[in-house]
Amino acid sequence: MTLAWIALRNLARNRRRTLLSLLVVAAGSVGILLTAGFITFSFQGLAEAIVRGGLGHFEIVRRSALGGSADRLDRPIEHGLEDWQRLRRRVEALPEVAAATANVHLLGMATAGQATASFVGLGVEPERQRAMGFTTRLRAGESLPPVPPLIGEEVVLLASGLADTLGVGPGDWVTLMAVTPHGMLNALDARVVGTYTTGLQDLDTRFLQVPLATAQRLLETPLVADLVVTLEKGVPLERGAAALERLAAGHDPPLAVVGWRQRAPYYRQVRDLYRGIFWFLGSVVFVLVVLSTSNTLLMAVMERLRELGTLRAIGTGRAQLAAIVLCEALWLGVLGGALGCLLGLLATWGINALQLQMPPPPGAVDPIDLRLALLPQAFAGTVLLMTAVLAVAAIVPVARAVRLRIVEALGHV
Amino acid sequence: MGPVSPAAAAPPTAADRELLARSDVAAHAPDAFRARVRVRPLAGGAARELEIWKGEGGEALVRLLDPSQRGKFFLQRPEGLFLITPGTRQPVRLDPSHRLAGGVSLQEILGLRLGRDYELVDVRRHGSGAQAQAVLALTAKADGLPHARVRWVVRVADARPLRAELLLPSGKVARMLEFRDWGAGSRLAPRQLVVKDLLRGGQAFAVELLELAAAEPPPAIFALDGDAARAALGGTGG
């Protein structure tokens, strides 16, 4: 304790140099905090967008639809759910579950006049989707109506790029063609009620949504491809998964419960990319802080050689001397980290208050918000990290102090 | 039986052209007829029956006889192939190579119009005596046909086609038609053929001709707006 106090007083002796070191540590801390805040906000935003974009927290699907691979994303209707309405009632009776909705996946051709384009479609239950908080970013017209359309009154919501390719807008008619599970071609006329964006340009040229009943009529099937489930607020994913797994156990035909992360390879790719960026930036900050503070600490040792020699001459041990230098470094880490946290907090508030936007990432349609998440654990972790970084930076100065020879030190000018 | 490998070929002679004409299945069919065919996947699965009306002008109408497909037709007209279904207000234009049922196209059922639509470019001959075969290489005379190139393998002794290999422009064999059985009588009428999709792992379908009779199609069934005439077909068979 005494050594720590002595080390703190030593730092106070050269306030300018100490302040400079503290600022270096604080700047590194701010950099790490802002990066962590941005990445965390991006993860949270992307996860929320994916879950609320229609993926839900879990999917219940026939095991045979996965074809032995949990990463398989297509859901052939041949492996669809027959008793889906009864199954949904059981799922929604679980206390962990907020709601469940059925989907039918489509692949086919859309034509309007002379224009033809292939599409990837989804049959959805609009009213349930809205109740589950699923969002559709409309560009024009209206969303799909809440009530299933009557036969002959089919409607479709086209992604904006697909609507452009077909040269249609709200109120126009398109013909949707798809091959049924029995290998027969079928076609339906559908009125375009609106256009929307998926958020990604490539997907916008292919995607469409139709009411579930329309999709089933197009495929001439009463089956649905899967049930998408959202959990009640605050229910951990693990608990939700366990409850659904228990419900699915023993079902004939066998069912699989698939988490949203498994069905979102895009999320995994973005997360891995951001993690890579974070570790790269963290490494750069680590090296910069270590080099600059190590230099400062070494200077502090070199300037005090006679003093340190005197301490050794009056009986101070090498370990005590090393502890003093190490404590000085640790104080710089703790205080610099704390200062960085304070500055990081202010910077986070300031940036969030400015409500800045960044240009759309490659392939995306809309600009993204530049927001930073406030993470208590990141603040605590940054102080600990900076303390550890300064401990590493102190290795050379401590070694120099330990190797000090009393006679040379006392004669040092 | 696999695709024929390329070998030395000779320019076609008058005898080769005559062989092609004698083996041209579609050319031997009545100008106008009603036929009923059954398409069955060889790997298992439901068989489907189709009623086909063909007019003298080359138009054809395919009616799906499965009760669940009531009201659904494929209509071949000079300007293209159309799907007519209760779910659409207008006939929907399709790619001419579109598969009707069970992965078989209308051309494969009606027969390719070899003499009319294709040109004989070279010939190779194999074997001798009763086993002698001629491989006639044909190319489409015009764009827009479902198959740009055809290899037509014919038994020379009786001018019976053995198989047709339908090639992509690259030369890759996409589909193969094997003639398995022939109707009685002098007319060249296949009773059963097997269609293999070589681009999809050799998926194979048996096409069985259940009925074929020269018949004048009911008026207006080939018109794009002939819904009433087509609806009346419900009582004509199947």
Ramachandran region, residue B84 (left: φ > 0; alpha: ψ -120 to 50; beta: rest):
beta
Average pLDDT, chain B: 86
Q: CA nearest B146: which of B101, B109, B91?
A: B109
User: In this complex, do A187 and B46 lie within 8 Å of one another by their Cβ atoms?
Assistant: no
Cβ atoms of residues B55 and B222 within 8 Å: yes
A214 to chain B: closest CA residue:
B87
Question: DSSP code of B138?
Answer: E
- Residues of A within 8 A of B65 (CB-CB) are none
Q: Report whether pLDDT(A366) > 80.
A: no
Q: Which long-range contacts (CB under 8 A, 24 or more apart) does B194-201 make?
A: B194/B42, B195/B103, B195/B104, B195/B108, B197/B103, B198/B3, B198/B173, B198/B174, B199/B172, B199/B174, B199/B175, B200/B103
3-state secondary structure of A343: helix
Chain B positions with Cβ closer than 8 Å to A: 46, 48, 64, 68-69, 72, 83, 85, 87-90, 92-94, 98-103
Residues 6+ apart with CB under 8 A from A363: A200, A201, A202
Select the residue of B87, B90, B98 nearest A188 (Cβ to Cβ): B87
Select the residue of B69, B87, B93 nearest A189 (Cβ to Cβ): B87
A175 interfacial to chain B (CB closer than 8 Å): yes
A177 interfacial to chain B (CB closer than 8 Å): yes
Q: Averaged over A355-380, what is the pLDDT?
A: 83
Which DSSP string corresponds to B49-79?
A: EEEEEE-TTS-EEEEE-SGGGTT-EEEEETT
Residues paired with A97 in a beta bridge: A231
Per-residue pLDDT, B236: 47
Residue from B85, B90, B99, B203 whose CB has the most chain A CBs within 10 Å, to mutate: B85
Can you tell me the distance from the alpha carbon of A228 to that of A211, in angstroms, rounded to the nearest whole number? 15
Q: Averaged over A63-71, what is the pLDDT?
A: 82
The alpha carbon dihedral of A75, A79, A82, A84 has a sign of negative
Alpha helices in A137-253 (DSSP H): 160-166, 201-204, 212-219, 237-248
Q: CA nearest B167: which of B191, B135, B190, B189?
A: B135
Cβ atoms of residues A188 and A180 within 8 Å: no
Which DSSP string corresponds to A166-190?
A: HT--TT-EEEEEEE-TTS-EEEEEE
- Residues of A within 8 A of B72 (CB-CB) are 184, 186
Q: Averaged over B219-231, what is the pLDDT?
A: 92
Q: CA nearest A10: which of A412, A307, A291, A386?
A: A307
The tens digit of pLDDT for each residue in A311-330 reads 888 988 889 889 988 999 99
A218 interfacial to chain B (CB closer than 8 Å): yes
By residue count, chain A amounts to: 413
Select the residue of B69, B87, B99 nearest A187 (Cβ to Cβ): B87
Q: Averaged over A2-10, what is the pLDDT?
A: 87
Can you tell me the distance from the alpha carbon of B44 to that of B204, in angstroms, rounded to the nearest whole number? 10
Tokens, residue B104:
């078989």
The three-state (H, E, C) secondary structure of A3-47, written as one string: HHHHHHHHHHHCHHHHHHHHHHHHHHHHHHHHHHHHHHHHHHHHH
Per-residue pLDDT, B5: 47
- Residues of B within 8 A of A182 (CB-CB) are 46
User: In this complex, do B92 and A175 lie within 8 Å of one another by their Cβ atoms?
Assistant: yes
Q: Averaged over B5-30, what is the pLDDT?
A: 84
Can you tell me the distance from the alpha carbon of B75 to that of B63, in angstroms, rounded to the nearest whole number? 9
Per-residue pLDDT, B6: 45
User: In this complex, do A177 and B92 lie within 8 Å of one another by their Cβ atoms?
Assistant: yes
Can you tell me the distance from the alpha carbon of B223 to that of B30, in angstroms, rounded to the nearest whole number? 21
Which DSSP string corresponds to B14-34?
A: HHHHHHHHHH-HHHHS-SSEE
Size of interface A-B (CB pairs under 8 A): 43
Instruction: State the pairing for strand pair B149-155/A368-369.
Output: unpaired
Can you tell me the distance from the alpha carbon of A277 to that of A35, in angstroms, rounded to the nearest whole number? 9
Q: Give rounded-to-5 percent helix, strand, coil for chain A.
A: 55, 20, 25
A185 interfacial to chain B (CB closer than 8 Å): yes
The alpha carbon dihedral of B17, B21, B22, B24 has a sign of positive
A105 interfacial to chain B (CB closer than 8 Å): no
The tens digit of pLDDT for each residue in A250-292 reads 899 999 999 998 888 888 888 898 889 888 988 898 898 888 8
Per-residue pLDDT, A216: 96
Q: Report whether pLDDT(B238) > 50.
A: no
The tens digit of pLDDT for each residue in B72-126 reads 999 989 888 899 999 898 999 887 667 665 567 777 777 788 888 899 999 999 8
Tokens, residue B95:
């790619």
The tens digit of pLDDT for each residue in B48-78 reads 899 999 998 888 999 989 888 888 999 989 8
What does the radius of gyration of chain B's CA atoms come to, in whole angstroms?
Answer: 18
Amino acid occupying residue B198: L
Helix (H) or strand (E) run with residue A398 in it? helix A395-402
Question: DSSP code of A79?
Answer: G
User: In this complex, do B103 and A183 lie within 8 Å of one another by their Cβ atoms?
Assistant: yes
The tens digit of pLDDT for each residue in A206-254 reads 999 999 999 999 999 999 999 999 999 889 999 999 999 999 998 999 9
Can you tell me the distance from the alpha carbon of A49 to that of A363, in angstroms, rounded to the nearest whole number? 16
Cβ atoms of residues B149 and B137 within 8 Å: yes
Q: Report whether pLDDT(B1) > 70.
A: no
- Residues of B within 8 A of A189 (CB-CB) are 87-90
B90 to chain A: closest CA residue:
A189
Q: Report whether pLDDT(A158) > 70.
A: yes
Cβ atoms of residues A363 and A46 within 8 Å: no
Cβ atoms of residues A197 and A365 within 8 Å: yes
Per-residue pLDDT, B99: 67
Amino acid occupying residue B93: R
Per-residue pLDDT, B101: 59
Cβ atoms of residues A330 and A409 within 8 Å: no
Select the residue of A184, A188, A220 nearest B88 (Cβ to Cβ): A188
- Residues of A within 8 A of B101 (CB-CB) are 183-184
Tokens, residue B26:
């579609």
Q: Report pTM.
A: 0.73
Instruction: State the pairing for strand pair A155-159/A185-197.
Output: parallel
Estimate the crossing angle of helix A305-313 against helix A318-354, to 10 degrees. 140
Average pLDDT, chain A: 90
